[in-house]
């Protein structure tokens, strides 16, 4: 019976190692796909902060556009309102995902996370 137990223990060890490799591969693939989106979100946030610190530039640009092309400003305002409403609807879904992504990127890698902690 001990040969059977040794065989099962070896199989368990091999499966754990394979699972660790698959988890790592998945993490690399997800990070490669999500990293550009995180960079885009970070840039949007930094742009929003800049606009918050320099509102007079936004007002000056809006006045210049209103003088130059009044119809274009009305159309742009309509699109802006649509984008704002869409963001208000998506924000409860997007912000938790971005927060989870940011915390996952900052979390230190856990060495030996695949070890069985139930063993005493």
- Please indicate, yes or no, whether residues 47 and 9 belong to a single structural domain of this protein: yes
User: What does the pLDDT look like over 21-65, one tens digit per residue?
Assistant: 999 999 888 888 888 888 888 899 999 899 999 999 989 988 888
Identify the CA nearest to 105 among candidates 22, 28, 23. Answer: 28
22 part of a folded domain: yes
Structural domain of residue 98, as residue ranges?
Answer: 69-105
106 band by pLDDT with thresholds 50, 70 and 90:
confident
pLDDT of residue 1: 63
What pLDDT, on the 0 to 100 scale, is given for residue 62? 83
Q: Is residue 64 part of a domain?
A: no
Q: Is residue 61 part of a domain?
A: no
Instruction: Tell me, yes or no, whether 46 and 8 share the same domain.
Output: yes
Same-domain status, 9 and 42: yes
65: Cβ–Cβ under 8 A, 6 or more apart, which residues?
72, 73, 76
* pTM, 2 dp: 0.39
Is residue 72 pLDDT above 50, yes or no?
yes
The count of domains in the chain is: 2
Angle at 92 between CA 94 and CA 35, to 5 degrees: 10
Whether 49 and 96 share a structural domain: no
pLDDT-based confidence at 108, cuts 50/70/90?
A: low
Judge if 40 and 2 occupy the same domain.
Answer: yes
- In the predicted structure, residue 12 carries a pLDDT above the cut 90: yes
Residue 75 has pLDDT above 70, yes or no: yes
Assigned domain for 60 exists = no
- For range 67-78, the mean pLDDT: 85
- In this structure, the answer to whether residues 48 and 15 fall within a common structural domain is yes
More confident residue, 20 or 106: 20
| Mean model confidence pLDDT for the chain | 84
> Are 46 and 19 found together in one domain?
yes
């Amino acid at each position: 019976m001990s040969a059977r137990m040794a065989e099962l223990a070896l199989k368990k060890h091999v499966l754990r190692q394979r699972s660790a490799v698959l988890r790592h591969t998945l993490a690399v693939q997800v990070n490669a796909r999500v990293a550009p989106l995180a960079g885009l979100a970070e840039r949007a946030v930094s742009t929003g902060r800049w606009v918050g610190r320099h509102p007079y530039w936004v007002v000056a640009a809006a006045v210049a556009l209103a003088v130059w092309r009044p119809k274009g400003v009305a159309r742009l305002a309509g699109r802006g309102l649509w984008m704002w409403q869409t963001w208000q609807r998506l924000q409860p879904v997007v912000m938790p995902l971005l927060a989870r992504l940011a915390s996952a990127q900052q979390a230190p890698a856990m060495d030996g996370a695949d070890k069985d902690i139930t063993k005493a």
